[in-house]
Structure 1
């Protein structure tokens, strides 16, 4: 049931981020199918390397901060594309060591609306979202929906990307940062 809900959410979000010129005349279901199929069919492959998991010091006490791992060793792979507006779409999967030193997986769809900082379009910044599933030890590795705000900054084949996991006191409120390197 959870998988169906998160997939439906991801599909609906995709319908709203498709480039208008690429999807003129399409209804929302067609836009979703278009975005997923175009991204899946892309021949651009990415390597993901988790870098840091910053726990917001305003929402965690010292006891929790001292015991949490903020170095999420791991990696991931994905397939991505840039649409005709220069916006980024991706399907990805990552596995890494979480804050409690257990393996966590994360996979889904990501979108960044990009702004380019030079004429050659080498430098970019973007904001968007990721929608997918995560599996964590404290939830017995049952897939849990993962809709998160996301942002990134990039230069040519390299990007520094991040998502913020909202939460409550001593839980959540984590800025998760990773690098993305375009392999081809």
Structure 2
């Protein structure tokens, strides 16, 4: 339960700032803000391609025997719509499917947000979160919530992006990494 509160606290710290001026929702409710943020992202004209590259199982939480039996090369593909807001922060709605740790297909869909820092015009660093749903064979493909921190290093249209999936002994504690290519 402590991990949930830690994740929730991290998300609260990284929530996007309130919309400003013309982007501001009609009412000040959280529901309106979320609806407007998702609607604006869905209406964006920019697309991005996701290519999973690594599923690293944290060696502190897994035995070497378990690690040897896991797939850490999550072949797959995804697509998303993205936008940058007035502050230059990244928002995305995405879908991705990849081979999970057991080599079974795992689809995931959700929303992601990153606060962006721009040391130069072409180089960016981002930190934020993703929230969505995934389906896993080992859970009979029942919808499972996803809430994870996300970070990226970006150059021009290409990003190396990762999410850390928290868990316990022999589950979760996975660093999932993918390439993100913004199509212009």
TM bucket, shorter chain: 0.7 to 0.9
Aligned mate of 1:67, from 66, 69, 78? 69
**Alpha-carbon displacement from aligned partner over 1:46-69 (angstroms, at most 9, x marks no partner):** 100000000001111011010000
Q: TM-score, normalised by structure 2?
A: 0.87
CA distance in 2, matches of 1:71, 1:59: 19
Q: CA deviation at 1:29?
A: 2.4
The aligned counterpart of 1:78 is 80
**Alpha-carbon displacement from aligned partner over 1:8-48 (angstroms, at most 9, x marks no partner):** x9xx97xx415542437741222112111110000000100
CA distance in 2, matches of 1:73, 1:116: 30
Alignment of 1:20-99 (within 5 A): 20-21=19-20, 22-23=23-24, 26-27=27-28, 28-99=30-101
Correspondence 1:182 to 2:182: yes
Aligned mate of 1:108, from 107, 110, 115? 110
- Secondary structure, aligned partner of 1:69: coil
Q: How many residues align?
A: 170
CA distance in 2, matches of 1:165, 1:88: 20
Residue ranges of structure 1 left out of the alignment (5+ in a row): 1-8
The aligned counterpart of 1:142 is 142
CA distance in 1, matches of 2:138, 2:35: 34
The aligned counterpart of 1:6 is none
- The alignment's C-alpha RMSD in Å is 1.8
Residue ranges of structure 2 left out of the alignment (5+ in a row): 1-7
8 Å CA contact retained: 1:19, 1:85: no
The aligned counterpart of 1:127 is 127
